[in-house]
Structure 1
Amino acid sequence: MTDPRVSHDLSLARTLILDELFDLSLYRKLRDITRDPDAQRILDALIAVEVDHLAFWKRFFAMDIEHLDVRRSIKLRLLTLTCRLFGVTAVHLVLEAIEVHGVRKYLTLWTQFHGQSLGAALHDILMDEFKHEDVLVTSLTERKINAEKIRNIFLGLNDGLVEILGAVSGFFGAFGSASLVLIASSTTAVAGALSMAAGAFLALNSEQEVRATESAKKRFLGEISESTVMAEPPLASAAFVGIAYLIGATIPVFPVLLGADTAVFSVITAGLMVVIISTILSFLSGMDITRRILLNLAIITVAVSVSYGIGLLAKRIWGIAL
C-alpha cells in the first residue's frame, strides 16, 4: 500500500492536521469561557467530533503534530479575546464562520482529489461536517451570518472607501487646498451614500415585483409557487448599503478633517481599514482572506493613481491655482 505521505503533498498534510488542531483548540477555549448552557452542550459535541478528525488525519498521513504554528496561535488568541469581550453572540458568529470555512475547504479538496485515497477520506470528513457539525452549529446559531447583509455591508463600505479616497486624491491633485478637499469630498460622500441607497432599494424593489408577478402566474397555472418574500427587505437593504457607504467614506476624509494637507495620510488610513474590513468580512463569510485583501488593496491603488493623475491633468489644463 502506498504511503499517504508519499502520494500527497506534505504541506497539505500539515495544513489539514494543523487546521483540525486549531479548531479543536478553539472549541476548547470557547468551552472554557462561555457560560451559556446550549453553547456548552454544542461545544462539547464539536470537541468530540474534532478529536476524532484530528486523530484520523494523524493516522492517515502518519504525522504527529501537537502544537499550533505561530500564525494559528495568534489567530486563536485573537478569536478567544474577541469572544471574551463580546460574549455568546461572538461565540455563535465564530462557530458559524469556522464551519463555513471548513465546509468550503473540504469541498474544494474533495473536488481536487476525487477518486483518490485522499478524496475518499475527505468524503467521510465532509459527511461528518454536513450530518453532525453543520447541524450542531445551525441549531445553536440559527444562521446569524446573513449572506445578503454581508454583501450589503461590504458593498457599501468598499464603495464608500474607494470612491471617496479617489475623490480626495483627485481633489488634492487639482486644488491642493485641504479646506476645499474637505468640502468637496464631504458633499460627494453624502451624494454617493444617497445614490447607493436609492440604487439598492430600486434594484431590490424591482426584483420583488418580478418575483411577485412570476408567483402570481404560477398560481394561476396551478403550479407550486415559491414564497415571494425576500430574505432582506428592500428598505432595510438600502439602509445597510447607505450607512455602510457613509462609514466607508469617512475613513479617507478623517485625516483631512484632522489637518492633513496631502492625500498620503488618507491613503495609509484607507489601506489599513481595507485590511481590517476585508479580514473581518472574509472570515465571517468564508472567503479567502488573503485574496480579498490583495484585491481590495489593488483596487484602491488604481483608484488613487488614476484620480490623482486626473486631478493634476485638470489643474494643468484649466490652470487651477489656489
Structure 2
Amino acid sequence: MKSLTPLVRNQIIKAQRAEITEYYTYKKLAQKAKSKSNRNVLSEIADDEKRHYEIWKKYSGREVNPSRWDIKKYYWLARIFGLTFGLKLMERGEERAQINYKHIGKEIPEAIQISKEENDHEKELIALIDEDQLKYIGSIVLGLNDALVEILGTLAGLTFALQNNRLVALAGVIAGIAGALSMASSEYLSNKSEGKEDGAIKSAIFTGIAYVFAVIFLVVPYFVLNSPFLSLAWAVLDSVFVVFIFSYYISVANDQSFKKRFLEMIVLSTVVGLISFGLGYLARLIFGIEV
C-alpha cells in the first residue's frame, strides 16, 4: 500500500466516514421511499457512496464507522422537509466540507474522479428525485410572499389607525382568511388557464396553506400581548424569521443564493410595511379615529 502523509491519511479517513454515513442514510431513505423512481435513485447514489468508501478503505487500510447521529439527523430532515433539501444539506455537511480532494489528489489521483462524481453525477441523480415540495415551490413562494407583504402591511396600517389589539387581530384574521381563499382560487384558475389541469388543485392547496401559515405567525402576537406596537414589532420579527427559514430552504433545495433571496423579500416587506404604517397614521389624523 502506498505510503501517505499524515495529513492526507486524516483526510481519507474523514472521506471514508462521510461516504459510509451517506451510504446508510441513502439506504434507509430508499427503504422508506414510496415512489419506485425515487427508490431507484436513492439506491443508485447509495451504491456510489459505498463504492467510494471501498476505494478510500484501500488506501487507509482500515474500517471506519459511520456517524449514527448524522444518519438519524439527515434521515429525519429528509423525511420532514423533503428528500432534496435533506440530501443537499447532507452533501454540503461539515465533515464533507472539510475534505480537500485536490490536496488528496496530489498523492491519490483517484480522488479527483471521486470528487467529480460527488459534484456532478450525484447532483444529477438528486435532481431526478420527484417530490411535491419542489414541484410546487412557486406556489408556496407566492402564498408566503403575498401574505407577508399584504398582511404585515395591513397590520402595520391598522395598528397605527386603531391602536387596539383585539380589533387589529380580528381584522388580520379576516383579511388573512379572505386573502388565502383569494390566492388559492387565483392560483387554481391561473394553472387551469395555462393547461396545467393535473396540478391546479395541488398548486392552489400549497398556495393557500403557505398563506395561512404566514398569517398565523403574524397575527399571534396581537392575541398574546396587550401593546399594539409591541405586537407589531413581534410580527415584524416573525416575518423576518419566516423569510429567513424559507430563503434558506430554497437556497439549499434549489442551489440558489440565500443572501439575494433573503434580502429581496425583506426589502419588499419592509417597504410595504412602512408605507402602510404611514397611511395608517395619516388615516388616524385625517379622520380623527379614536377607539
TM-score class, shorter-chain normalisation, is 0.5 to 0.7
Pick from 284, 294, 303: which aligns with 2:253?
A: 284
1:24-43 aligned at under 5 Å gives the runs 27-33=19-25, 35=28, 36=30, 39=42, 42-43=45-46
Aligned partners of 2:70 and 2:157: how far apart in 1? 39
Distance 1:28 1:317, change over 3 A: farther
Instruction: Work out the CA distance in 1 between the residues paired with 2:272 and 2:264.
Output: 12
CA distance in 1, matches of 2:54, 2:155: 52
1:161·1:250 contact (CA, 8 Å) conserved in 2? no
Q: Which residue of 2 aligns with 1:202?
A: 189
Structure 2: how far apart are the matches of 1:233 and 1:91? 19
Equivalent residue letter for 2:46? L
Are the aligned partners of 2:221 and 2:234 in contact in 1 as well (CA < 8 Å)?
Answer: yes
**Which of these residues, 260, 265, 268, is aligned with residue 234 of structure 2?**
265
Name the residue aligned to 2:150: 163
Aligned positions of 1:75-94 closer than 5 A: 82-86=73-77, 92-94=83-85
2:220 to 254, 258, 262: 254
Q: Which moved more, 1:78-87 or 1:235-244?
A: 78-87
Instruction: Return the offset for 1:201.
Output: 1.3
2:268 is aligned with 1:302? no
Instruction: Map 1:105-116; keep pairs closer than 5 Å.
Output: none
Gaps of 5+ in 2: 1-13, 32-38, 56-66, 93-111
Give unpaired runs (5+ residues) of structure 1.
1-21, 53-75, 102-121, 209-229
Aligned to 1:274: 243
2:275 match: secondary structure: helix
The equivalences for 1:111-126 within 5 A come to: none
What is the distance in 1 between the residues matched to 2:172 and 2:44?
51
> Structure 1 residues 94 and 184, CA, compared in 2 at 3 Å: closer, same or farther?
closer
Q: Return the offset for 1:40.
A: 6.1
Q: Is the 8 A contact 1:160 1:249 kept in 2?
A: yes
Q: 1:28 to 1:173 in 2, by over 3 A?
A: farther
The structural deviation recorded for 1:259 is 2.3
Once the two structures are TM-superposed, the CA of residue 91 in structure 1 deviates from its matched residue by 7.8
CA distance in structure 2 between the aligned counterparts of 1:164 and 1:175, rounded to whole angstroms: 15
The TM-score with structure 2 as length reference comes to 0.66
Match of 1:184 among 161, 171, 188: 171
Kept in 1, the 8 Å contact 2:161–2:280? The answer is yes
Q: What percentage of residue pairs aligned between the two structures are identical?
A: 26
**Aligned position for 2:97:** none
CA distance in 1, matches of 2:16, 2:268: 37
Q: Is the 8 A contact 2:247 2:262 kept in 1?
A: yes
| Pairwise CA distance, 1:248 | 1.1
Deviation at 1:299, TM superposition (A): 1.6
Distance 1:91 1:164 in 2: 28
Q: Where does residue 142 of structure 1 map in the other structure? A: 129
CA distance in 2, matches of 1:301, 1:98: 30
Per-residue displacement from partner, 1:213-233 (whole Å, max 9, x unpaired)? xxxxxxxxxxxxxxxxx3852
Q: Is contact 2:218-2:235 (8 Å) kept?
A: yes
Partner of 1:154: 141
CA shift, 1:203, in A, is 1.2
Distance 1:126 1:306, change over 3 A: farther
What is the rounded CA distance, in whole Å, between the counterparts of 2:135 and 2:82 in structure 1? 21
3-state SS of paired residue (2:194): helix
Q: CA deviation at 1:89?
A: 7.1
What is the CA-CA distance between 1:244 and the residue it aligns to? Answer: 1.3
1:265–1:89 CA distance, 2 compared to 1 (3 A): closer
Q: Distance in 1 between matches of 2:124 and 2:197?
A: 21
What CA distance in whole angstroms lies between the structure 2 residues aligned with 1:246 and 1:236? 15
Structure 2 CA distance for aligned equivalents of residues 172 and 249 of structure 1: 16
Contact 2:20 2:49 in 1 (8 A): no
Q: What whole-Å deviation, never above 9, does each CA across 1:84-119 have from its counterpart, x for those lacking one?
A: 435667683246646999xxxxxxxxxxxxxxxxxx
CA apart distance, 1:31: 2.8
Separation in 2, partners of 1:46, 1:241:
37
